[in-house]
Amino acid sequence: MTTTEPTQPQNQPQPMMSLSFSSQMSKEDEEMARSALSAFRAKEDEIEKRKMEVRERVKAQLGRVEEETRRIASIREELETMADPMRKEVNWVRKKIDSVNKELKPLGSTVQKKEREYKEALDTFNEKNREKVQLITKLMEMGQLVGESEKLRLKKLDELSKSIDTE
């Protein structure tokens, strides 16, 4: 709000000279205010212009960063595909080895169990075989004794028979 006349208290009269000086000051104040306002606006415009420039530079830099990120991702992908066939094969072989190891563990336990059972059965077989050999040996000895006993009985029978015939 700009007025050419300054506000004055109603009860105090002002001299004429001061009124003209006051209106002159008012015009100077108004001019200074306009000048300050326009300088302020110019500064604001300059600041806004610089903000926009910085934003554009940041945006351009972000664009370059994104482009470089895509390029790096592409290079990484290409490297992975170059190493990938061997890696896949190696991983497959490792998985297969792990799988076979998992199958071997219970089989190894089974083999050990069967070996123990086999050893026990073999020990039992050998023991029974020795017992059989001992029994056969005893039987053969008994057979000889029975044979000798039979000879003695036959001899006695012959003697008895002769003694009966002679009487």
Residues 84-109: tens digit of each pLDDT: 667 778 888 999 999 999 999 999 99
Average model confidence (pLDDT) across the chain: 83
Please determine, for residue 29, whether its predicted confidence score (pLDDT) is greater than 90: no
Going 16 to 19 to 25 to 27, the CA torsion angle's sign is: negative
Which single residue is written with the structure tokens 């351009």? 60
Q: Name the band, by pLDDT with cuts 50, 70 and 90, for residue 147.
A: confident
In 3D, which of 96, 155, 116 has the Cα closest to residue 104? 96
- What is the structure's pLDDT at 25? 64
By percentage, how much of the chain surpasses pLDDT 70? 83
Which single residue is written with the structure tokens 């530079």? 57
CB atoms within 10 A of CB 109: 10
Of the ranges 46-60, 74-88, 134-148, which is most confident?
Answer: 46-60
**Which has more pLDDT, 49 or 157?**
49
Please determine, for residue 75, whether its predicted confidence score (pLDDT) is greater than 50: yes
- CA dist 44 and 57 (Å) reads 20
Using only C-alpha atoms, what is the Rg of the chain? 64
- CA dist 106 and 113 (Å) reads 10
- What is the structure's pLDDT at 2? 46
Please determine, for residue 149, whether its predicted confidence score (pLDDT) is greater than 90: no
pTM score: 0.37
